[in-house]
Amino acid sequence: MEKTLMDLYQKGTAAFNEHRYDEARENFDQLVKEGGQFADVFNMVGVIAFVQNDYEKAKKGFRRALEINPNYTEASLNLSIVLNDTGEYPEGEKAFDKASKSASVDKGSVDPFIKGRIANLHFELAEIYHGLGLYDDALKEYNTATKLRAAFPDVLTRLGVLYRDMGQHDAAVGEFEKVLEESPAYSPAQVQLGISWYGQGEIEKALTNWKAVLARDPDDAKANMYIRLAEKGLG
């Protein structure tokens, strides 16, 4: 990936994670214009559009993410939410079914700061492989990053998402629970844990996790989206 694309990707993702959606959208739009075609970027573009009530753009973003990576569980689930909200129930049900079915480094004595820098490089490479659907390569890079900075919840959370996308539900849940055991207030892991339970039909377990996220941050866009979907399913 060219430096410009990487910069746009990192800036856009950071803005997205901090709910600065206009800034995130600007970076992602420029990244796509420069030729960047990454499934997770289009998924985030879809989430931003959904939050801003632009459902057509949201559907376009999620569908493009799935064109790039047909096994992208979160994008399938997000698409099902939008389709249900726009009354397209048969297609929404198909998207949900798809989401449900998708469902050795020697540390030596290297300086911790250097280890962290190296781990970040492996993590970034893993994210790229993951977005491209190259799961075996992504798993190798996530595991390398984990060995170098095992205590960091973002790496373990993304590793859990990868396991889910590979169809390994128990391994995914295990990673998310490991994160929450060490960092109980780390919302991204709890949101993803809810997605994994929802994909297995465990609606109440999913709701419990998403509501816990909202108790800490009522503006969390993903938790709000998923609670709407779950409660609609229970109605």
Q: Please name the residue that has the structure tokens 């109980």.
A: 184
Q: Is the pLDDT of residue 82 over 80?
A: yes
DSSP character string of 74-97: HHHHHHHHHHHHTT-HHHHHHHHH
Domain ranges for the chain: 3-101, 112-234
pLDDT value for 51 = 85
pLDDT value for 127 = 86
Question: 16: which 2 tokens?
Answer: 């997205």
- 92 or 91: whose pLDDT is higher? 91
User: pTM for the complete prediction?
Assistant: 0.57
pLDDT digits (tens, 9 = 90+) for 169-205: 999 999 999 999 988 999 999 999 999 999 898 999 9
Cβ–Cβ under 8 Å, residues 143 and 129: no
Q: Is 225 left (phi over 0), alpha (psi -120 to 50) or beta?
A: alpha
Give the CATH number of domain 112-234; options: 1.10.10.10, 1.25.40.10, 3.40.50.300, 3.20.20.140: 1.25.40.10
Same fold for the pair 3-101 and 112-234: yes
Domain spanning 3-101: CATH 3.90.180.10: no
pLDDT digits (tens, 9 = 90+) for 23-61: 999 999 999 998 888 888 999 999 999 888 899 999 999
- CA dist list (Å): 194 to 110, 134, 154, 169, 189: 37, 24, 16, 12, 9
Looking at residue 161, the DSSP 8-state letter turns out to be H
What is the percent of the chain where pLDDT is above 90? 45
